Amino acid sequence: MTTFSPPIIERLNGNVYQLTTQTIVNRSLEETFEFFARAENLNKITPPWLHFNIVSDTPIRMGVGTTIEYR
């Protein structure tokens, strides 16, 4: 079972916002890390109303300095 907390949206300054939420995942650390390490899964965890779409070529090799292009 996965549970979510309602998002907290804070206006930091001007048009900059911060979205904070918490997700509790009933999986092992290894399974959870593997899921979050794949950029392609960002579509699955981003709120639908943000219409998040990765435009970078996939699969994306994650590492220090990795850039992901999205709309």
Q: What is the pLDDT of residues 6-26, one digit of tens each?
A: 889 999 999 999 989 888 889
Confidence of residue 1 (pLDDT cuts 50, 70, 90): low
Instruction: Decide: pTM greater than 0.75.
Output: no
Q: What is the pLDDT of residues 33-68, one digit of tens each?
A: 999 889 989 888 888 888 888 999 888 988 899 999
Q: Percent helix, strand and coil across the chain, each rounded to 5?
A: 25, 25, 50
The C-alpha atoms of residue 18 and residue 8 are separated, in whole angstroms, by 8
**pLDDT at residue 11, rounded to an integer:** 94
